[in-house]
Structure 1
């Protein structure tokens, strides 16, 4: 490998590392996954850097192309709930390597990435004893069928540099694979630019990688079921609902929510989300709480003073309704019966007059659905962090193909650690204040 090629590969590594550090929040990628990607890219960078000073560099195959391809997929708008990258999944039949475990179009998927030259993609074992594509796919599909909790709805194969038509035909005939389009989502995502920032702020584009020759195929394992029958919204508190004020931030947020049910427009709210929406902290009391004398705070909030002040300070810095407004706008909000029951109890015990009024307004904008969690979520072991009531709530959202809006990050992390991809959107926690 020439020194010029090594230098270019080094800059590609540096660019990928910067991209990994700034992956969009929409991926909901776990900290562990991000660390894995950074470790792989940094390891490749260290290896290439050691070659740069070698007076007699040897021909070698670099891995940066594979990492680039994985990161390119991660930047696509429809990729969410990333729970595992470039690691084997621990399954009953043994570990199986999957490049991405994530949610795509609200369905759990496994993605296998190949950056090989199409001429070197063999269907059967090669003369050196290397396993062919058929053998690997058989292993992956057997692993997928061996688990209930981690089973994907489909396995997607992404060939970054293309695929011979003869192999493509065998994929279709042997596994029922169908063409899948990643690139149609966003034409602006077709290029992976590797940039090197120079002195004075100038940017030197080292290499622009196009994925226009890439080929993706999907092998479906689970057909998406139709949405379950749902209950019409019920009036939770028997009272005349006050008209929403156009000048009120809370009213603006819930007014932006869709009232009609359409496919792919649902968002599931857990109890923490409902409480945060109606909380006095979220709705104008934060500065007053921070400015209250210590004696008044202790008398009002008892042993929760530090907790409440921390939330009020967080609200002043990053208002919750700003993020929730962006998440909920144009969506049909749903709550399952168990969440509704828990929220009503909390409101009756701890909410003040204004919080109760907001609770009435909020619940009359939501659709109540039966507790109906998916089998895969219920198949997770019940532990302190994976409590049964939380599996019911998040599993019901999963049944509806809806992301769950939540501040319960302990549950979200525990699910990700199991290897399962679950569509969630986090928000900062807020408490009822008696406002």
Structure 2
């Protein structure tokens, strides 16, 4: 048995020991649902035991173990008062919704979330496999179920407990729904941890599009193309603004304009009126002198058509896309325009593309990395790079 296999086996054995101690911890509780929780833990231990017997151990067996969630539920249970039950199943239409903890004599419903903050935020942005539900989806379910199951003539309040923390933006969205959020708030820039873009995301680009000679430019593509950071300044400045410093570093590693120029070769450039108007508005507001000049030059090479223009292509049933989350009305207009005229939509909005795919719509796209306009910030929020 190799060194890696030995380590994995030890980690699985530690998980099993951890689960056994967890069962002992909850035996002091005499609540509705405790026996069900114990059975779930036993099932997890049985599975891990089978993994040990077969010797076919994978990292996923440790990383994806449900014991992490069960432990978080038990730890939260030990901190609340007047608990009535755990793992309570209530019906919402024809679906079963599990309430992790019901306490305060039934007046508080709690959901315990043990996933890492970055994963939670990515799922909410549509970065997940089809059918994976986000914490915002669960929030809406809990609220609807609470309304349908009043206690003492009151709608139970809903509390989401993030044991490993939660992104501050995501926390604000959940609170705006009317849910109490418990857990450390983490700034999204800290969640990103300065990691480069997941280059696998850019595999979202539609394959085999070389025969398509039309390009539909999203606002994000036009901004990247004229951005100062994509036209030399990445090698001239260090930015004090986190996101700009990050993009400048990525640009030094992976220049985007040559990628775009190469893709544009031999193709006709189009955009819709909504994209054109949004692009001009952004450039006039935050663009520098040279960025505005580049914007004017770029627009001279683009054919602008009405939003509802068509080239008699069979357009997908785009109307089934639900506006919300990463599906914004403006983006939907721009991507649908590309579909109508039979063009490849060039964009950095991979969140929209993933979210659309989750709803069963596959746009024809070429994905590039995002770049912001930087020229104004070069004068106030940047220092020169010394050679």
TM-score, normalization by structure 1? 0.36
Q: TM-score under structure 2 normalisation?
A: 0.41
Q: Which has the higher helix share?
A: 2
